[in-house]
């Protein structure tokens, strides 16, 4: 049996996967003790103290699973580097256990998935402990206008671990905040356009938005299939790279994963090179962000560019994206059409006792229970319901093709080919939308803090299946100096 580790202990703070594995291998710690330690922190900081509200639900079997994995380690050895490591999942990821999957909506409060999402199966096989579900922006922030990131009718408002006056990003808000506050070792988020990168930058953690198709979308409450993907959030690039590899794989239930055949290395951590910036060609797309930065952000980003040069990178500045201006002014309708088609397909498979099986029924449920469900309204859901749900509208097809053209051939592909680049570097999440439309990977890395303590970040973006390159660059950037510091609250 595990020791009684109920008091909040400092040993778990900022612990990396490697450090935890060493502690478990030596017998100094057990997986059960890790679960208890994180439970103590969740009790102290998520539900009391700063009351971050990042954790929506705890897995009632987490401790039992950890104890079983401890027994397996003693008798057979560890399955791999994730054996016994606690992981939080965003609340739109299916788990076939005693936890709900609700996408933050009270309409799905009673939904228990019949099977694990493909990525969850992968994590369980790797020996990870599914610790619980993280709060999120309801319906992945496709419910209404003006709703703050991290708010859901089922879970309430997530707060930034560095101070409630700072936004915590969205929609994988709880996942980012939980990692930042050391409420788990690792977390999984999902992104359609910035929803991993934004909470990563806002919470001073690492977030990887992978190439569309690297990680299966099956078993995840959808927003828009053309851009949806899951991805890791962690405190270090090494840990994020490990989690990415554990979730990647070909899934017969999601045909797009077939495109990743031969593209997934055995372990992304082989690309962690301290000198990985030497000789790298990195472009600075100034036209995307030149009028959007405050003075502090501008100075910090210029300092990072200078540091890249000192580390041996060949910085191309500017390396402007040809389609940047047209993309910025283009209001694509793709989400509006795909959301209804995709969410109806997901909801139609829910158990009969769930009160909603279509977007129309979700809207009706919210209207009936408006005092609890409609604090910010549901105008976006209603506009999506106006579509046919068949994806046959000419506007949808035109806009989807335009998204691809502007983001790929006339966007990222064009600038990278012209300047022979390994990656683009953006301040914060300035390039999140174009990479999301292209289905291309990005990695957000902590980039210091403003004078008031607000976290700043940078994002490396590349072409399809260039995760290994981005991880090499991000890891080398991470080594340039202490970019992350843990949040501190009054005792």
| Positions marked active-site | 90, 171, 195
Q: Are strands 281-283 and 314-316 parallel, antiparallel or unpaired?
A: parallel
Rounded Cα gap, residues 482 and 474, in angstroms = 13
Q: Are 103 and 138 in contact (CB under 8 A)?
A: yes
* CA pseudo-torsion sign 361, 363, 366, 367: negative
Rounded Cα gap, residues 230 and 212, in angstroms = 9
Phi then psi dihedrals of residue 304, to 5 deg: -65, -40
Rounded Cα gap, residues 232 and 22, in angstroms = 22
Cis peptide before 318 (omega within 30 of 0): yes
Of 165, 162, 192, the residue nearest 177 (C-alpha): 162
Of 426, 437, 410, the residue nearest 473 (C-alpha): 426
Query: Residue 88: which residues within 8 A CB-CB, separation 6 or more?
Result: 55, 131, 132, 133, 134, 174, 175, 178, 179, 183, 184, 186, 187, 188
């Amino acid at each position: 049996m595990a020791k009684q580790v109920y008091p909040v202990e400092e040993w778990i703070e900022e612990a990396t996967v490697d450090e935890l594995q060493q502690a478990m291998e030596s017998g100094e710690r057990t997986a059960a003790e890790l679960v208890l330690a994180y439970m103590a922190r969740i009790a102290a900081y998520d539900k009391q103290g700063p009351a971050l509200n990042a954790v929506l639900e705890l897995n009632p079997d987490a401790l039992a699973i950890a104890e079983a994995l401890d027994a397996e380690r003693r008798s057979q050895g560890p399955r791999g580097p994730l054996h016994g490591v606690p992981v939080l999942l965003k609340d739109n990821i299916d788990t076939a256990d005693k936890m709900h999957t609700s996408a933050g909506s009270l309409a799905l409060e009673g939904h228990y998935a019949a099977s694990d999402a493909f990525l969850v199966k992968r994590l369980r096989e790797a020996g990870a402990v599914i610790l619980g579900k993280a709060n999120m922006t309801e319906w992945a922030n496709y419910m209404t206008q003006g709703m703050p990131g991290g708010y859901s009718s089922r879970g309430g408002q997530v707060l930034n671990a560095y101070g409630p006056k700072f936004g915590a990003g969205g929609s994988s808000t709880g996942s980012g905040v939980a990692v930042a506050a050391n409420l788990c070792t690792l977390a999984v988020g999902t992104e359609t356009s910035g929803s991993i990168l934004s909470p990563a930058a806002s919470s001073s953690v690492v977030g990887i938005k992978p190439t569309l198709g690297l990680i299966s979308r099956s078993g995840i409450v959808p927003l828009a299939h053309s851009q949806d993907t899951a991805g890791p959030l962690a405190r270090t690039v090494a840990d994020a790279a490990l989690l990415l590899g554990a979730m990647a794989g070909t899934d017969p239930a999601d045909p797009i994963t077939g495109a990743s055949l031969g593209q997934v290395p055995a372990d992304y951590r082989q690309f962690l090179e301290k000198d990985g910036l030497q000789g790298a060609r990195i472009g600075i797309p100034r036209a995307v962000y030149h009028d959007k930065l405050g003075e502090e952000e501008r100075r910090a980003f210029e300092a990072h560019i200078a540091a890249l040069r000192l580390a041996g990178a060949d910085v191309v500045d500017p390396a402007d994206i040809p389609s940047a201006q047209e993309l910025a002014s283009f209001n694509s309708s793709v989400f509006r059409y795909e959301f209804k088609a995709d969410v109806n397909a997901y909801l139609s498979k829910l158990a009969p006792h769930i009160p909603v099986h279509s977007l129309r029924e979700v809207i009706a449920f919210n209207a009936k229970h408006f005092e609890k469900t409609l604090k910010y309204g549901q105008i976006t859901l209603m506009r999506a319901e106006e579509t046919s749900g068949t994806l046959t509208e000419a506007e949808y097809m035109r806009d989807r093709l335009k998204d691809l053209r502007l983001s790929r051939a006339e966007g990222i592909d064009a600038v990278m080919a012209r300047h022979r680049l390994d990656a683009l570097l953006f301040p914060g999440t300035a390039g999140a939308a174009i990479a999301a439309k292209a289905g291309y990977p990005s990695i957000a890395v902590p980039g210091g803090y403003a004078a008031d303590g607000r976290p700043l970040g940078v994002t490396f973006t590349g072409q399809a299946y260039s995760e290994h390159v981005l991880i090499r660059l991000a890891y080398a950037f991470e080594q340039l100096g202490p970019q992350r510091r843990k949040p501190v609250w009054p005792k």
